[in-house]
Amino acid sequence: MSDLTRFSINQMTVKQLTLPELVAACRDLGVPAVGLWREPVQEYGVDATAKLVRDAGLAVTTLCRGGFLTAVDPEERAAALADNRRAVDEAATLGTDTLVLVSGGLPPGTKDLRAARERIADALTELAPYAEDHGVKLAIEPLHPMFASDRCVVSTLTQALDLAERFPAHQVGVTVDTYHIWWDDTAPEAIARAGAQHRIHTFQLADWITPLPEGVLNGRGQIGDGAIDMREWQGYVEAAGYTGSIEVELFNEELWARDGRELLAETARRWAENVDV
Amino acid sequence: MSDLTRFSINQMTVKQLTLPELVAACRDLGVPAVGLWREPVQEYGVDATAKLVRDAGLAVTTLCRGGFLTAVDPEERAAALADNRRAVDEAATLGTDTLVLVSGGLPPGTKDLRAARERIADALTELAPYAEDHGVKLAIEPLHPMFASDRCVVSTLTQALDLAERFPAHQVGVTVDTYHIWWDDTAPEAIARAGAQHRIHTFQLADWITPLPEGVLNGRGQIGDGAIDMREWQGYVEAAGYTGSIEVELFNEELWARDGRELLAETARRWAENVDV
């Protein structure tokens, strides 16, 4: 059997499984860690989820996700900050030290990416110390540029690092996700920079397949099915000093239509075939 | 009536119009220039098209497109080079000095973007002198990173310039298209670099709208409908010394379903509202 010590399954990959089903499947397959999402965790109960994973001996590598910090309207901004504080609280309760942040897109009717990125920095000034007080690190995730207008104005690892570097590394770092950065020939250098500063807070895998579906959100490919050389990217993060979990996070309608337990087994197998452990 | 002196309509924007219909509509609306596409031109006849636009006094700003130069297979590579020489010939016949190049994606089963980009450079070594001999400049077009695997391994203006700079500026430059680079905070600097080297061979506009359609190819927005500040980008290319045409190139199923002449009038109006002339 493959060595799955560094494997983590992001809950969204197998979202057809309930939390108890996910935990049971992880136990049966020898999967040691999960990345969780706020919505299903809230539905099951944050404390109940914490107990469930703790009793099963599962590590929680990340909580997805905070962020959406680009609002101009003061009330919206205050609501976003309050929601992010709750996300920090939830991460602490779940026993993970990493909260993934997806920045948010352009507010309706605006066209200024630079100003939107600056509002994220402002918000982090309030959030980062709060996270530190709760033992949680924020991991800014650059999303693929195709999400720049409606989901995440932070499109490259360099942009994410430029934001993160305004704060101590134990407060704010980055998420390195192959799906979002594989096309970027400046990303390897940014990974080296992030590693030298101890800011690689999580490393996630998804493969790039085409054609992209309408809306492009749920088109991530199973590991090994697409254009991305996973070992190449693993090489970059490890050369930069990263030794943590390697999490698989897929959003894919076809995969979600399949049996969740079988999909988890396939994902673990594909992971082991495509990374060096 | 607006000053359309610097307006050019890319044929693909109003592909529901036949070439004679396009030329007549341009004449009636005072549109002084067109960007042409090889397939409809070949269908109508290259010489016949050249005569049609010449007799109407229309300038041809660009021919789209050559490229697709990433093949590994020697026969495929030779065929691509031969096809690109024909594209150069067609550009010369049509009276345009600019052939837009879309590089091509990853050959099936390969994952090495760097090697694919290097094969483009190799191909340009053969093509660029041929183009110069025919009075044609090659304009490498970086496409949005969402096309990196299946259409164009050149994803940023910086990558395009890194390729172009291996050749004299009158042989190889770049296409600056707002749709592909608007998210990139390093693009303004790359535009300045391109301008200083006289490598901005064409400047094209399309707006960014969401949700993207399946396959993402035909989701470009009408000027003014989306997230891109056209004046900002016009400012960058003009600060870099660009004084040429500003061409509108949209691919959009909804726009194509409309009356072509009415769409051309709307596009000219939107252009005039969103750029400084």
What ipTM does this complex have? 0.96
B144, A145: Cβ pair inside 8 Å?
yes
A214, B212: Cβ pair inside 8 Å?
yes
The pLDDT tens digits of the residues spanning B173-205 come to 999 999 999 999 999 999 999 999 999 999 999
Chain B closest-CA separation from residue A169 CA (Å): 23
B145, A183: Cβ pair inside 8 Å?
yes
B211, A210: Cβ pair inside 8 Å?
no
State how far the Cα of A62 lies from the Cα of B125, in Å rounded to an integer: 48
Helix (H, G, I), strand (E, B) or coil at A247: strand
Chain B closest-CA separation from residue A252 CA (Å): 14
| CA dihedral (B122, B152, B38, B172) positive or negative | negative
Sequence-ordered strand ranges (E) for A133-223: 137-140, 172-177, 200-205, 207-208, 220-221
Q: What is the mean pLDDT of residues B261-272?
A: 98
The pLDDT tens digits of the residues spanning B122-146 come to 999 999 999 999 999 999 999 999 9
B158 interaction partners in chain A (CB closer than 8 Å) = 186
Q: Which of B155, B156, B210 sits opposite A149 (nearest CB)?
A: B210
A157 interaction partners in chain B (CB closer than 8 Å) = none
All residue ranges of chain A with pLDDT < 50 are none
Q: Which of A184, A210, A216 sits opposite B212 (nearest CB)?
A: A216
Q: What is the mean pLDDT of chain B?
A: 97
Chain A closest-CA separation from residue B216 CA (Å): 7
Across the A/B interface, how many CB contacts are shorter than 8 Å?
87
**Interface mutation vs chain B, best among A144, A146, A151, A161, most B CBs within 10 Å:** A146
Residues 145-184 of B with CB under 8 A from A: 145-146, 148-150, 155-156, 158-159, 182-184
**Interface mutation vs chain A, best among B111, B186, B253, most A CBs within 10 Å:** B111
Shortest CA distance from B151: residue in chain A: A210
State how far the Cα of A126 lies from the Cα of A118, in Å rounded to an integer: 13
B148 interaction partners in chain A (CB closer than 8 Å) = 182-183, 208, 227
Would an 8 Å CB–CB cutoff place A212 in contact with chain B?
yes
The tokens for B42 are 């070949």
Who's near B234: CB < 8 A, 6+ residues apart? B203, B246, B275, B276
pLDDT classification of B4: cutoffs 50, 70, 90: very high
Would an 8 Å CB–CB cutoff place A7 in contact with chain B?
no
Q: Which of A144, A210, A226 sits opposite B145 (nearest CB)?
A: A144
Chain B closest-CA separation from residue A67 CA (Å): 19
State how far the Cα of A275 lies from the Cα of A223, in Å rounded to an integer: 10
Query: What letter does residue A146 receive in the DSSP assignment?
Result: G
| Residue B277: pLDDT over 90 | no
Long-range pairs of A128-133 with CB within 8 A, sequence gap ≥ 24: A128/A167, A128/A168, A128/A171, A128/A172, A129/A171, A130/A85, A130/A88, A131/A88, A131/A99, A131/A171, A132/A168, A132/A170, A132/A171
| Residue B1: pLDDT over 80 | no
Would an 8 Å CB–CB cutoff place A135 in contact with chain B?
no
State how far the Cα of A99 lies from the Cα of A61, in Å rounded to an integer: 9
How much is the pLDDT for A74?
Answer: 95
A149 interaction partners in chain B (CB closer than 8 Å) = 183, 208, 210, 226-227
Would an 8 Å CB–CB cutoff place B228 in contact with chain A?
yes
| Residue B83: pLDDT over 70 | yes
Q: Which of B145, B208, B212 sits opposite A215 (nearest CB)?
A: B212
| CA dihedral (B142, B147, B149, B152) positive or negative | negative
CA angle centred on A47, ends A46 and A53, rounded to 5°: 90
Chain A closest-CA separation from residue B60 CA (Å): 31
Would an 8 Å CB–CB cutoff place B109 in contact with chain A?
no
Question: Which amino acid type is present at position A107?
Answer: P
Q: Which residues pair with B175 in a beta bridge?
A: B202
Q: Which of B159, B229, B232 sits opposite A185 (nearest CB)?
A: B159
Would an 8 Å CB–CB cutoff place B106 in contact with chain A?
yes
How much is the pLDDT for A1?
Answer: 62
Would an 8 Å CB–CB cutoff place A112 in contact with chain B?
yes
**Interface mutation vs chain B, best among A103, A106, A111, A254, most B CBs within 10 Å:** A111
Q: What is the mean pLDDT of residues B82-109?
A: 97
State how far the Cα of B77 lies from the Cα of B122, in Å rounded to an integer: 11
How much is the pLDDT for A91?
Answer: 98
Would an 8 Å CB–CB cutoff place A109 in contact with chain B?
no
Cis peptide before A211 (omega within 30 of 0): yes
B228, A114: Cβ pair inside 8 Å?
no
Domains and CATH numbers, chain A: 7-274 (3.20.20.150)
Q: Which residues pair with A137 in a beta bridge?
A: A98
State how far the Cα of A27 lies from the Cα of A52, in Å rounded to an integer: 12
